[in-house]
Each structure stands twice: as C-alpha cells, then as structure tokens.
Amino acid sequence: MIAVKDLSVKYKSNRGEVQALNKVNINMAAGDLYTVIGPSGCGKSTLLYVLSGILTDFEGSVLINGKPVNPRTQRIGLILQNYGLLPWKTVYQNVTLGLKIKYGHTGLNEDGRHLLQQLGIDDLLNRYPKELSGGQQQRVAIARAFMLKPDLLLMDEPFSALDAITREEIQELFLETWQKNPVNTVFVTHSVDEALYLGRKVAVFSPSPGRILEVADNPCFHKDKLQFKDEYHEMSMHLRSLLSKG
C-alpha cells in the first residue's frame, strides 16, 4: 500500500519560491488504480516525481509498503508521455532494462514472454524505437514497467501523444494488462474521460499549489460504451464542476 502524508513540495524558480504541492494526503490500498486529474501546472507530475524517488526534497512522508521511497530497493515503474525509451537499445533491451538494472540479467521467464505476447510486441524485439509507431513505443514502455512486477506503477499522461484510435486501443490493452497484474498504480491525466475510464478512484487536484480536492470512488471504471451511461454523465459533471471551482 501507498501512504502519502502531508506532502508539500517547494522549488526555486526565477520568480522565487514556488509551492508545487500543499499538504497532499493519499492512502492507497494494495492493488488499487488511481487516476489523478487537475489543471495544468497543479503539481500532478511533481507528485509522480516524488513517488518515483526522483525528487527527494520534500516535506511530509511517503511510504511504499511501510518504507520510505527508494528506487534502489523498491520496484518502481514509470511510464512517461514520450515513452522514455532508450533510442540506442532494441525493443528487447529496452523491455529488459529494469531487470538488468535491478538484478543484473536480461533473461525473460515464462511470464515475461507472455507479457510481450499480450502487448503484441513479441515480434518487434530486434527493432529500435525509431522504427516503431507511437502506439508500439508506448506498448514497449508498458511492457518495461510491468516486467518488473513493480511495487508502484506511475504513469504521467502516457497516452496523450497518441491519436484517438490508438489511444483507445492502448487504454484497453493497459487495463487488460493491469487486471492480470494488479499493481498499485497512479495514473496522471488531464482528460476527464480518461480519468473516468481508467481509474478505480479519481483524485481531483486544485490549481497550483496542488491540493487534493476530493478522492472519488468511480463507478465508471472500465465500463463498456461509457458515454451512454448515466453514471458517466453524473461523474463527468461532478469532476468538471470541481475542476472549474478549483
């Protein structure tokens, strides 16, 4: 489980000190999937950088399974908008990068090979990222993150650079993969629809400095033909009014 208590982050910019996050509290049960939504610049990405151990200068406490965040000892998967693949490594080398860094080997077991098949990239293993489409690159990034069986999976607007049709395919694929490997996931998005389709719970952030306005249980999670359902319209209206009030 993930416990974030009174998390505040300040950073220095040209205009002096900026407060990015203000006393954020999150308690995530094991194997839960949160989407985080908020206006741009509200500190959503900052939250992910704290959770991933990249940003270490913060107040408050962040515990993963009862221990402070440390990417050396914990397994953290991070999926970014522009995929974060290494262009000089093949798909196979990219997918096994986490294994190489954590355990010093690049061999895949049965589960690993199955994951590649499931994501439909098992016949692309010798290609370089530049030879792949955006959707394929994102599948590779997803494979790399799940390959580690992470304690915490963090996703920073991962699908926003994809075209609408590819995005829907990948969202579906991501949910299937996640349901077979249910890991703690924090998924940052700026799209209300995406937040509703992918989040078991939806956390709404205020404009900067980011606070959590509400963590809503989401009845729309992984519902087919979401746009035609009443609960979708209710939730959508609710989230939008929260976001516009700030």
Partner 1 sequence: MISVPSKEKWQGALYSLVVVLVGWWLVSWLLRLPIIPSPFAVFINIAEVFSTRMEVHVLYSLGRIMGGIMVSILIGVPLGYLMGAFERVNRLLSPLVYFTYPVPKLALLPIVMLLFGLGEASKLIMIVLIVVFQIIVTSRDAVRSIPQEIFRSLRSLGASRLQVFTEIILPASLSEVLTATRLALGTAVSILFFTETFGTEFGMGYFIMDAWLRVDYLDMYGGIVVLSFMGFLLFTVIDLLDSYLSSWR
List contacts with partner 1 (CB under 8 A).
49, 52-54, 70-74, 76-78, 80, 82, 84, 86-89, 97-98, 101-102, 128, 130, 148, 154
Nearer to partner 1, 47 or 78 (CB): 78
Minimum CB distance to partner 1, residue 54 (Å): 5
The crossing angle, in degrees rounded to 10, of helices 110-118 and 134-147 is: 160
Q: What is the DSSP string of 29-40?
A: -TT-EEEEE--T
Minimum CB distance to partner 1, residue 45 (Å): 10
Instruction: Tell me the residue ranges of DSSP E strands in 110-232.
Output: 152-156, 184-189, 201-205, 212-217
Nearer to partner 1, 126 or 227 (CB): 126
**Is-contact 213 242, C-beta < 8 A?**
yes
Minimum CB distance to partner 1, residue 105 (Å): 14
CA distance 114 to 89: 21
Nearer to partner 1, 157 or 194 (CB): 157
Nearer to partner 1, 45 or 181 (CB): 45
**Is-contact 78 48, C-beta < 8 A?**
yes
Minimum CB distance to partner 1, residue 229 (Å): 36
